[in-house]
Amino acid sequence: MFLRKLHQIKAFILDIDGVLTDATVHVTETGEQLRRFNIRDGYAIQLAIKRGFYVCIISGGKSAGVVSRLEGLGVSDVYLGVDKKVNVFNEILERYQLSRSEVLYMGDDIPDLPVMKLAGVATCPTDAAEEVKALSMYISPKAGGAGCVRDVIEKVMKLQQKWFDESSSAQDETMSANPG
């Protein structure tokens, strides 16, 4: 049933902290907050966008630095400081005329649960909160910030035969200029 649902996916909606990052924040002496992103997650995100998938980020965090990284990958819809992710999720469905069954959501903690209940496919990294794991249709063997996003995107794209095409020019120019 899980694999059958992946055939319908047209959109990936992701959390940041604990999904695209390893859930740690490094704070400098000046108060700047630094996060670490996985380069392979980034490759999968930009490739998915180039192959026609919609990718969106909804996060409770407010770090403006992540916007630059995500925009460099081609993500145009980044929502930060969101208290009620369900409201943004519903707005996205309406704006892009998506059905819930066409959305894969990846979250890792309690604030993600309401959206996960609505998404067609709810997923999480291996190190997600137990409540999130219990609700997920798929638990990636990869941890947050360690390739879990690539894992789910690659699964969907391979199943839909959109992952690898030798004749395609879908390269990741942005990642060599902005390495992680």
Residue 170 domain-assigned (yes or no): no
Residue 17 domain-assigned (yes or no): yes
Bridge partner list, 27: 33
- Structure tokens that stand for 92 in this block: 């996205």
Bridge partner list, 77: 56
* pLDDT, tens digit, 9 for 90 and up, residues 49-81: 999 999 999 999 887 788 989 999 999 999 999
- List, in order, residues 6 or more apart from 17 with CB less than 8 Å away: 23, 25, 35, 59, 60, 61, 108, 144
Q: What is this structure's pTM?
A: 0.89
Q: Which long-range contacts (CB under 8 A, 24 or more apart) does 94-98 make?
A: 96/11, 96/54, 98/10, 98/11, 98/54
* pLDDT, tens digit, 9 for 90 and up, residues 31-44: 888 888 999 999 99
Which range marks the domain in which residue 57 is found?
Answer: 2-98+108-162
User: Domain containing 40 — which CATH number?
Assistant: 3.40.50.1000
Residue 175 domain-assigned (yes or no): no
Residue 22 domain-assigned (yes or no): yes
For residue 171, pLDDT over 80 is answered with no
Residue 174 domain-assigned (yes or no): no
Q: pLDDT tier at 164 (50, 70, 90 boundaries)?
A: confident
Q: Structural domain tally of the chain?
A: 1
Residue 178 domain-assigned (yes or no): no
* pLDDT, tens digit, 9 for 90 and up, residues 88-146: 999 999 999 999 999 999 999 999 999 999 999 999 999 999 999 999 999 999 999 99
